[in-house]
Every structure is written in structure tokens, then in C-alpha cells.
């Protein structure tokens, strides 16, 4: 039938040493993977917080928009706007 032969016909102690070494390698890899997953989860939480903050800022900006019938200049950033005076652009320059 389909019986699998034993792993090794040699010394059982060396077989156990090899098995222990394999288990230690796998344990190390599992630890590295678990650490990577933990880091990814932390990054995901940070990105979700950034997205939430950005959505709040966007909502704040949208709430400041005037009605469509309002023809005033928009100041979405809340910075002081100096009125532009077209007469200033036409002043002669002296050298």
C-alpha cells in the first residue's frame, strides 16, 4: 500500500535534534510573522485615525461653504483675505 517510510533509519537522537532545530526555525518564523501582523495592525489604526481626521476637516470646510445663491468670495481656509484693489496694479513705477 502507500505506507511512508520512517524519516530516517539513523540515530533517533540526531533525528530529534533535527526535529528540534526545525521546530525552532518555525517558531522564529511564526514570531516574526506575528510581529509583522502587529505592526500592520498598528499602521492600519494610525491610517484610520488620519482618514477620520481628514474627513472631519473636509466636513468642517464643507460646513463653511456659503449657499449657492451667495456670491461672496469663499475663504475656506479661514485665513485673512486682503481685498485686491485694481488701482494698485496700474500705478506708475519710478526708477
pLDDT in tens, 17-52: 999 999 999 999 999 999 999 999 999 999 999 999
The widest CA-to-CA distance across the chain, in whole angstroms, is: 106
For 49-70, the pLDDT digits (tens) are: 999 999 999 999 988 887 766 6
Task: Assign residue 31 a region (left: φ > 0; alpha: ψ between -120 and 50; beta: otherwise).
Answer: alpha
Asked if residue 63 lies in contact with residue 75, where contact means CB atoms within 8 angstroms, the answer is: no
pLDDT of residue 66: 74
d(CA 23, CA 25): 5
Angle at alpha carbon of residue 63, lines to 57 and 64, rounded to 5°: 95
87 versus 25: which is more confidently predicted? 25
Amino acid at each position: 500500500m502507500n505506507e511512508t517510510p520512517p524519516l530516517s533509519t539513523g540515530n533517533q537522537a540526531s533525528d530529534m535534534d533535527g526535529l528540534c532545530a526545525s521546530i525552532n526555525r518555525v517558531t522564529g518564523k511564526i514570531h516574526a510573522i506575528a510581529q509583522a501582523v502587529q505592526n500592520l495592525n498598528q499602521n492600519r489604526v494610525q491610517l484610520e485615525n488620519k482618514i477620520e481626521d481628514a474627513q472631519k476637516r473636509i466636513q468642517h470646510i464643507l460646513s463653511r461653504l456659503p449657499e449657492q445663491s451667495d456670491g461672496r468670495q469663499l475663504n475656506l481656509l479661514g485665513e485673512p483675505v486682503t481685498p485686491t484693489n485694481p488701482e494698485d496694479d496700474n500705478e506708475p513705477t519710478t526708477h
